[in-house]
Amino acid sequence: MSITLTSHGAAGTVTGSKHLLEVTRTDGSTTRVLLDCGMFQGEAVYKAKGDPNRRFGFEPKDIDVLVMSHAHIDHSGLVPRLVAEGFTGPIWSTPATRDLCAIMLADSAHIQEYDFAFDLKRARKRGREPEELEPLYTVDDVQPAMALFQTTEYAQPVTIAPGITLTYTDTGHILGSAAVHLAIDDGERVLQVTFTGDVGRYVDRLLPQPAVFRQADVIICESTDGDRDYADIAEAEAELLRHVEEVCVQRGGRLIIPAFSIGKTQELLYTLNTLSNEGRLPRIPVFVDSPLAISATDIVRHYSKLFKPDVQAELAKDPDLFNFPGVEFVRSPDRSKQLNSMKKPFIVIAASGMMEAGRVRHHLRNCLPDPANGVLAVGFCAPGTLGDELLRGAKEVRIFGDPVAVNASVDKMEFYSAHADRGELVRYLGCQDAAKVKRVFLVHGVDHSLLALKERMMGAGFRDIAIPRKGERFVL
């Protein structure tokens, strides 16, 4: 009878992905399908009144099914809280997304508990009570959430609710990432709804290019990099090698590469492994300083069947594409701290990519004041994050509440950006007959990205393009 869409996150922002489809039938019954349950991060949190991660905008117990696009925290980070607040339905994902969520959400729970304890201590020191009385969720909330996961492979349709069929296609964004295609039968018609999740790039990397998908009536499309066209991408090996040589060889400094534990870290290791196999990598220790990245690398190894065919073929010659002489995977905090007092140059890859949490903050605090060192950003940093501040050329930043001078070089390498640029997004949607698409919703972007992508898409023949505001309801 009616189908509506309401975005409760990633509407005018890049984080907090949450889109609610409500299908009401003639008999009065309603099925509620939530697409993603992501956490707000960075500016979306600082600029909001109150913590937006503590208010869903809907009743978790009223949701029938949750469908995940991929494991990144801005798409999955509130799943434990959704379940703790009463959601009991199935959570659909690809098998790789489920496995990655298991480690990502456990890690996120630790961060929530740690941050809460930190805020509590600071508030008490100042003689105040903390703003919140408990962490967003705890480690104990993760297992009940993981128990609700059900999986289906790419291109394997599955019925997820009466009259609603789900099919996933690969978007090549991170391991297991998928576009969500729902065929929704409301008793009068079948509406084809596609939610792109995050779309990967058409460059030569571990994962395949984004897959084509069947004709949709409605498309909910991400817009993260909708305002930019990447220059022709320099060969990744040559560019990464240039940064290593400049910082570690010529200046004798440390190269800090803040990177998402999932996706970027493995792509970086794969490039370094290739350079090492070819004998081009200088003999410099490489530390992967992130227990989460180590677990994620194990999962990526396990799913090598999802790699591009030519990368799978490389496995015959080199069975481990993420390990080479000189690399050390650092699990213990003690070993991580030892790196601070090392005198010789080294490369460290540590999370988080936007530099908001994780061990990378210790390395940055330690290394930023020395001009010999370098920071190499390899991905998108949301406005308001430490990564964004550094890329904008800040001369001083605050880390753990203390001012830190920035004298180290700060560079960006776009090859590892996991998001399609404007041209690539239009190329991705090129498999569609634009005239048959009734409506496009642009989400997961800041204002100028959304507007720039809208303009480009109108040029590509898409007609009705909406940019939802948070909480705005559309009848489909």
| Residues lying near Zn ion in the complex (CB under 5 A) | 72, 198
Q: Of the two residues 32 and 72, which places its CB atom closer to Zn ion in the complex?
A: 72
Q: Of the two residues 244 and 259, which places its CB atom closer to Zn ion in the complex?
A: 259
Do the strands 178-185 and 190-195 form a parallel or antiparallel pair, or are they unpaired?
A: antiparallel
* Closest approach of Zn ion to the CB of residue 72, in Å: 4
* Closest approach of Zn ion to the CB of residue 60, in Å: 23
Q: Of the two residues 72 and 363, which places its CB atom closer to Zn ion in the complex?
A: 72
Q: Of the two residues 34 and 418, which places its CB atom closer to Zn ion in the complex?
A: 418
Does residue 448 contact residue 226 with C-beta atoms inside 8 Å? no
Which residues are CB-contacts of 156 (< 8 A; sequence separation ≥ 6)?
167, 168
Classified as helix, coil or strand, 51 is coil
Q: Of the two residues 72 and 361, which places its CB atom closer to Zn ion in the complex?
A: 72
Q: Of the two residues 198 and 239, which places its CB atom closer to Zn ion in the complex?
A: 198
* Closest approach of Zn ion to the CB of residue 102, in Å: 17
Does residue 24 contact residue 473 with C-beta atoms inside 8 Å? no
* Closest approach of Zn ion to the CB of residue 385, in Å: 15
For residue 2, cis peptide bond before it (omega within 30 degrees of 0): no
Listing DSSP states for 150-206 in one string gives EE--TT--EEEETTEEEEEEE-SSSTT-EEEEEEEE-SS-EEEEEE--S---SSSSS
d(CA 131, CA 123): 9
* CA distances in angstroms from 225 to 36, 86, 94, 179, 249, listed in the order given: 20, 35, 25, 17, 33
* Closest approach of Zn ion to the CB of residue 70, in Å: 6
* Closest approach of Zn ion to the CB of residue 73, in Å: 9
Residue position matching structure tokens 């060192």: 373
* Closest approach of Zn ion to the CB of residue 406, in Å: 28
Classified as helix, coil or strand, 49 is coil
Classified as helix, coil or strand, 360 is helix
* Closest approach of Zn ion to the CB of residue 202, in Å: 17
* Closest approach of Zn ion to the CB of residue 58, in Å: 22
Q: Of the two residues 84 and 101, which places its CB atom closer to Zn ion in the complex?
A: 101
**Angle 223-75-411 from CA coordinates, rounded to 5°:** 60
Listing DSSP states for 124-164 in one string gives HHTT---S-SS-S--GGGHHHHHTTEEE--TT--EEEETTE
Q: In this structure, what token pair is assigned to residue 476?
A: 């489909």
Q: Of the two residues 8 and 363, which places its CB atom closer to Zn ion in the complex?
A: 8
Q: Of the two residues 22 and 424, which places its CB atom closer to Zn ion in the complex?
A: 424
